[in-house]
Amino acid sequence: MKLYKGFLHFLITLVSTFAFLLGWATLAHALKPAQPVKQQALAPLDPLPPVGMANSLGEPSSNLQFFSQAPQPRAQSFFITRGS
């Protein structure tokens, strides 16, 4: 069993090393990526509206919700755990 286990470790090491070297050689001889063609500069985008504005008309958003009230306590449940 010890001989079989040693041979298996040697075989895995050999195959791993061979696969690493083969992959390295494949990547080294692969075609290089094409260089992008230089295009004319694009016009800059318009600035974004301020955070508080919902639309381009400048009206404040009507769907914003502010939570100024404290949350209501929950109703007491039947199952209560007090910890240990």
7-31 per-position pLDDT tens digit = 999 999 999 999 999 999 999 999 8
| 5: pLDDT strictly greater than 60 | yes
Q: Which long-range contacts (CB under 8 A, 24 or more apart) does 33-38 make?
A: none
Q: What pLDDT score was predicted for residue 62? A: 56
| 44: pLDDT strictly greater than 70 | yes
Q: What is the CA radius of gyration of the chain?
A: 33
Q: What average pLDDT does the segment 45-54 reach?
A: 75
User: Distance (Å, rounded) from C-alpha 2 to C-alpha 7?
Assistant: 9
User: Distance (Å, rounded) from C-alpha 40 to C-alpha 36?
Assistant: 12
